[in-house]
Amino acid sequence: MKKVLTGMLCASSLAALAQEKGARFSNTVQEPMAVISVKLDQAPNDSLVNLYEPYSGDTATAYVKNHQFELRMPMKKGGSVYILQIGSNPTEQNGMGTVLYLEDGKMQITGKGAGFNDAKFSGNPWVKEWQEVMAITDPFSGEGLRFAQLEKQYHEAVAIGDEDAMNVAAKDALTVENSMKSKLKTWMAKHPNSGVCGYILTVYFTKEQKYIDSVYETLGDHAKASRILQRYKNPGKVDDVPLQMKMGEGAPAPDMGRVKIGAAAPDFTIPDLDGNKISLSGFKGKYVFLDFWASWCSPCIAQIPHLQEINNEFKDKNFLLMAISLDSKQEGWEKAVKKHGLDWLNVSNLKGWGEPVAGLYGVRYLPSNVLIDPAGNIVAYDLYGDALKAKLKELIK
């Protein structure tokens, strides 16, 4: 949970983004509308306030006057999750940033401090529902805090290359996560018509598609109509490509955005484990599967058995698997390749999230992958497990 919320709150240029987007909703009255009225006794006057949906970039802005402000966000696409921030350095830790679920209706926020810590949230029923879910996953108390602590331990282990400590922290974090997920399942069963269900399903159960689909069928019409679930059910039709959060090391490479399926795959040259320069264009005539991973990425490690099966079945059938690591340390990268038996082409510039090829292909999360056909055109993105095998069997006769 913390990695989702903290990542969302790390947008470093929201003020500039608001200006770039023209604060297009600030003075527009449309229905349906979320109206957020805020009075914080110590909120710094004249501070810029941003309300921002990270998926679509929809933004509303205001300024603090007399320690209060009001924001209006059109809700014609249904309920979704937004970031609300005050000032130039807003975070959850200093209380100047918070994450909110919003839909048509009103929310009031009042507090005696400068920010949202210890503030009271009231308004339409969905305000109370959001607060109940946040109480289950709060990164500053209970299981949410424990999860945050284990995440910190995990990243500390990553920094020193201690894989055993990484595994211990990951195992304990999984136990805590499963406990929180159990409570969230119970909550959804009691609130089947809440738009917040869409947030829960697509954040906490994102890799459990069958479970999401089964729960979706039990939801009420209002819950199904949320912008979140409409995006899930109709990818690319409700909003454009989402903003995904990054984890790991290094500053992100310039994001060129994803190249459209059917378009030519951008060429690149990158060193392999021995320092030899490898170019994508050198494999024209083959199906090339680019697997973006890192030694510190547990979900990536979980994918390795599937990749081994795929590689064994197709490596002699005009198919090449190229693993592009987002590691930043040669030793850790080599150790992981050897330990996990990655007997395919391994390449990296060792720049972490600054990997140029990741930026070239619009990679914003791990694991991520791209399938390229013999003509050098992109066939598909993000194929995992059985989906990858099915696609290759369809293409490679």
Each domain of the chain, given as residue ranges in start order, spans: 2-123, 142-233, 269-395
What is the distance between the alpha carbons of residues 55 and 108, in angstroms, rounded to a whole number? Answer: 24
Coil/strand/helix, residue 94:
coil
Task: Give residue 318's region: left, alpha or beta (phi > 0; psi -120 to 50).
Answer: left
Closest CA to 55 of 78, 88, 72: 78
**pLDDT for residue 255:** 52
Range with the poorest average pLDDT among 86-90, 104-108, 343-347, 355-359? 86-90
What is the distance between the alpha carbons of residues 396 and 65, in angstroms, rounded to a whole number? Answer: 64
**pLDDT for residue 306:** 86
Mean pLDDT for 162-177 is 89
Q: State the fold for domain 2-123.
A: Immunoglobulin-like (2.60.40)
Indicate the CATH number for domain 269-395.
Answer: 3.40.30.10
**pLDDT for residue 18:** 33
* Residue 281 per-residue DSSP state: G
Sheet containing 378-381: order of strands: 345-347, 319-325, 287-293, 368-372, 378-381
Which residues, 6+ apart, have CB-to-CB distance to 254 below 8 Å? 359
User: What percent of the chain stands above pLDDT 90?
Assistant: 57
126/90: higher pLDDT: 126
pLDDT at residue 55 above 90? Answer: no
Which residues, 6+ apart, have CB-to-CB distance to 29 below 8 Å? 72
Q: Name the helix (H) or strand (E) containing 292.
A: strand 287-293
pLDDT at residue 273 above 90? Answer: yes
Closest CA to 392 of 317, 329, 339, 326: 317
Closest CA to 71 of 100, 92, 93: 100
Show the DSSP H helices in 100-141 as ranges. 125-137
Token couple for 387: 């989906």
- φ and ψ of 345, to 5 deg: -70, 120
Which residues, 6+ apart, have CB-to-CB distance to 47 below 8 Å? 63, 64, 86, 87
Token couple for 301: 């490690």
What is the distance between the alpha carbons of residues 47 and 50, in angstroms, rounded to a whole number? Answer: 10
- Whole-prediction pTM: 0.55
pLDDT at residue 50 above 90? Answer: no
**pLDDT for residue 254:** 54
pLDDT digits (tens, 9 = 90+) for 220-258: 999 999 999 999 999 888 886 543 333 344 555 555 567
387/251: higher pLDDT: 387
What is the distance between the alpha carbons of residues 154 and 165, in angstroms, rounded to a whole number? Answer: 7
pLDDT at residue 184 above 50? Answer: yes
**pLDDT for residue 89:** 64
Tell me which amino acid residue 318 is.
N
Token couple for 98: 């918070």
Name the one residue in this structure whose structure tokens are 């050897």.
338
Across the chain, mean pLDDT equals: 85
Name the one residue in this structure whose structure tokens are 């409409």.
230
Cis link prior to 271 (omega < 30° from 0)? no
What is the distance between the alpha carbons of residues 335 and 353, in angstroms, rounded to a whole number? Answer: 19
User: What percent of the chain stands above pLDDT 70?
Assistant: 86
pLDDT at residue 391 above 50? Answer: yes
What is the distance between the alpha carbons of residues 61 and 218, in angstroms, rounded to a whole number? Answer: 37
- φ and ψ of 320, to 5 deg: -130, 130
Strand ranges inside 31-123, DSSP E: 33-40, 48-52, 59-63, 68-74, 80-86, 97-102, 105-111, 120-123
* Residue 66 binned pLDDT confidence (cut-offs 50, 70, 90): very high
Q: Do domains 2-123 and 269-395 have the same CATH topology?
A: no
